[in-house]
Every structure is written in structure tokens, then in C-alpha cells.
Amino acid sequence: MLPLLLAAALALAPKPHIVWKPIPYGPTRKAEMAAYAERHYGIHSWVLHPKVIVEHYTASNSFSAAWNAFAANTPDPELHELPGDCAHFIIDRDGTIYQLVHLNVMCRHTVGLNYVAIGIEHVGTSDAEILHDRAQLRSSLELTAWLVDRYHILVRNVIGHNESLSSPYHRELYKPWAHQTHADWNHPDMTVYRGKLKALLRADARR
């Protein structure tokens, strides 16, 4: 009985192939991130301890456009604050997974959750487009399953950007942004996504 249980506990989701394509994230950008975390979360640190995964789509049609936007470190148009937006991963339409930022570093991708969330971008312009792209969806689920196991993240804390306000981890000290979210990955589409993720995690546990 015990060896079987142990085997089940150790059968984690395998690490998918990941292409390391870092954006510039040196000491200056880290200091900007720590200052942002202080203003918005009351935490003076750029160090990420992941508890949440937020799924996004880029609202653009190419990996390079998204990578360039994140690398540029451009201030936001409202507060003119740095660092610029970024995400830890971008998944291209052919299923290639690119990693841009180390997983112990905060990225600015979801108002209210950057202090605790890994961000995964998908090249595309709608949830449906990604849900119907077999290669992209398979890579997305494999990457997310591996992260869930690696960081002991609960499946209910794998959320879409549009679900950000209902996360128990949501926190925003800048009041005008306390109810700000985006339209990408809404609740009905994330219900489908989480269903597929649970099925994959069950299959990995049975290996």
C-alpha cells in the first residue's frame, strides 16, 4: 500500500520544453519592481513567492511583438510608473513556450496580483482562439500543470486575468485601481481550462 501511495505522490507533471528568451531585467528594473510593490502592495521587494497563476492573451498576433513590448520597459500611460508590463512566459501559436523572466522575480501583468502571481501570455486575440489551437493549448496546460506541481498551487488559484478581482490574494493599495481588470480569459472559458488542467494533472498522477 505505502509504495503505491508514494509512487502516486511522486508522479508529478513533467517539465515541458521551455525556450529561455530573457528580457532585460537587471538591478534597475528590479528596484523599479520593488518600488511598485511597495506602493501597490506594501511590500518592498521584487522577490516572487508564487501562489497564483494568471492566464492572459496578448491581443496581438506575434510572439516578437509581445516580447518587444515587455523588453521595452515602458511606463504605463496613467501613472507613468515603471517597471513596464511583462509576463514570465509567452506561448506562441505553434506551442513553443518562451520564458522571459526568472520565476523568483515579480512581473507586472495583473493589477492586484503581481506580488504573488506567475503570468502566462498566449499569442492571440481571444480565449476561444487559444482554446481551439491544439498545439498552443497543449503547451499551456503542460506548462501550467508543471508550475502547479512545482509550487503547490491550488487549481482554483489558476485564474484568467478577467477573474483577478475575485482572487482571495487580490490586493491593491492604489484605490483607483482597486476594481481594475481586463477582459482576457473570463470565468466561463477558465472553467473549461481548469477542467482540462485537472484531467491532465490526474493523468500525470497515474503515470
Helix (H, G, I), strand (E, B) or coil at 35: helix
Q: Which stretch binds Zn ion (CB under 5 A): 75-83, 97-105, 154-162, 164-172?
A: 154-162
Is the CB of 56 or the CB of 88 nearer to Zn ion? 56
**CA–CA distance, 204 with 56 (Å, rounded to integer):** 24
Is the CB of 139 or the CB of 164 nearer to Zn ion? 164
Cell numbers of 14, please? 513533467
Q: Which stretch binds Zn ion (CB under 5 A): 20-28, 71-79, 81-89, 161-169?
A: 161-169
Q: What are phi and psi of 13, to 5 degrees?
A: -65, 130
Q: Which stretch binds Zn ion (CB under 5 A): 41-49, 53-61, 92-100, 190-198?
A: 53-61
Nearest to 115 by CA among 58, 40, 168: 40
**CA–CA distance, 206 with 119 (Å, rounded to integer):** 28
**CA–CA distance, 165 with 110 (Å, rounded to integer):** 10
Among 25, 161, 189, 201, binds Zn ion (CB under 5 A): 161
User: Is residue 184 at the binding interface for Zn ion, with CB under 5 A as the rule?
Assistant: yes
Least separation in angstroms between residue 111's CB and Zn ion is: 10
Q: Which stretch binds Zn ion (CB under 5 A): 9-17, 59-67, 163-171, 183-191?
A: 183-191
Longest dimension (CA), the chain: 59
Among 30, 39, 182, 196, binds Zn ion (CB under 5 A): 182
Cα 62 to chain centroid distance, Å, stands at 18
**CA–CA distance, 30 with 19 (Å, rounded to integer):** 22
Least separation in angstroms between residue 73's CB and Zn ion is: 18
Residues between 111 and 140 that touch Zn ion (CB under 5 A): none
Size of the site for Zn ion (CB under 5 A): 4
Among 56, 88, 108, 170, binds Zn ion (CB under 5 A): 56
User: Is residue 108 at the binding interface for Zn ion, with CB under 5 A as the rule?
Assistant: no
Q: Cell numbers 500543470 label which residue?
A: 145
**CA–CA distance, 145 with 155 (Å, rounded to integer):** 9
Query: Which residues contact Zn ion (rule: CB under 5 A)?
Result: 56, 161, 182, 184
